[in-house]
Amino acid sequence: MKFIALICATVYTIGSFAQEACCAATQSFAQLGASTTFKETHQLPKNGVNEELQGSWVNFKTPDQRTGRGYMVKAEKPSTKYLFVFHEWWGLNQNIMNEVERWAKEVQGVNVIAIDLYDGKVATTREAAGEFMQNADEVRIRNIIQGALEFVGTDAEIATIGWCFGGGWSMQAALMLGNQAVGCVVYYGMPENDPALLATLSCKVVGIFAERDAWINRTVVAAYEAAMNAADKAYETYWYDAEHAFANPSNAIFDEEAAADANEKSLEFLRSVF
């Protein structure tokens, strides 16, 4: 599988966030939505219902004069610590809501919010998921993330985590958050490999990758690691003998053993940064 190389440099002016951004990382992954092989690799999600949901939907203004939304579980006591969660190509579905609930229990004292990058659209078929991801609006997504940042405030300490499509956006969000970013976890998402952009990164990155992933493979990750080294940034990388999307419990290819180990490493990291 060859990645579609998209090289673009666009000036995004989003509220107080303005930068010359290369969209190659996010766009190259988004274009995988057109790949039949990529779509067929993803099993249809099993949206198990969680009867003990503690969270609620929140809305926030975005710099493009629209409204963004997220699913949020607040910490038991008022806290300025936040974990931003980024969904897979399916959208902010029940599985992601369940993940928010789980992380809120496992990382105490932290507000956990899943940010809806699709503005309410949720895919139930591979075809729809591919279309949503392929047509994802880069500028709109950055506006949504900036709106979430303004929603939590300038005193917030923020870590990010995401899977697949959301894994790439976990890293992009960490770059957008500036000095408010305290940690970033990327599960088999497209990592940034531009040293100039990574030079602005203010937190450590933990990468979780799969040996049998045909897309986010050793070559892709090696380029990212070289760029991180060039930018003198801290990172840890973990590889698992598993398939892409192995950590999704609603996926038929869910690898319980690998997912548990990856979760433990991610959890240890997140606990250490807050």
171 closest CA partner among 182, 158, 157, 185: 185
| Distance, CA of 81 to CA of 61 (rounded, Å) | 20
| Distance, CA of 260 to CA of 258 (rounded, Å) | 5
Residue with tokens 């060859």: 2
Confidence at residue 36, expressed as pLDDT on a 0 to 100 scale: 72
Q: What six digits make up the tokens of 54?
A: 């503690």
What do you get for the CA distance between the two ends of the chain, in Å?
39
Confidence at residue 1, expressed as pLDDT on a 0 to 100 scale: 35
The full set of domains in the chain, from first to last, is 9-273 (3.40.50.1820)
* Helices 165-176 and 138-152, axial angle in degrees (round to 10): 60
Confidence at residue 250, expressed as pLDDT on a 0 to 100 scale: 84
Q: Record the pTM.
A: 0.89
24: helix, strand or coil? helix
239 closest CA partner among 224, 261, 256, 254: 261
238: helix, strand or coil? strand
CA distances for 45 relative to 126, 131, 221, angstroms: 10, 16, 26
Confidence at residue 28, expressed as pLDDT on a 0 to 100 scale: 72
What is the DSSP code (8-state) at residue 137?
A: -
Torsional sign, CA 95, 98, 104, 105: negative
Mean pLDDT, 10 residues at a time, over the chain (274 residues)? 33 37 69 68 67 90 98 97 98 95 96 98 94 95 98 98 97 98 98 97 98 96 98 98 93 93 98 98
Confidence at residue 267, expressed as pLDDT on a 0 to 100 scale: 98
Residue with tokens 């998209």: 6
Other residues' Cβ atoms within 10 Å of the Cβ of residue 1 = 10
| Distance, CA of 111 to CA of 79 (rounded, Å) | 7
Can you say how many angstroms the Cα of residue 16 is from the centroid of all Cα atoms in its chain? 22
Taking the CA of residue 234 as centre, how many other CA atoms within 13 Å lie in the half-sphere pointing to its CB?
7
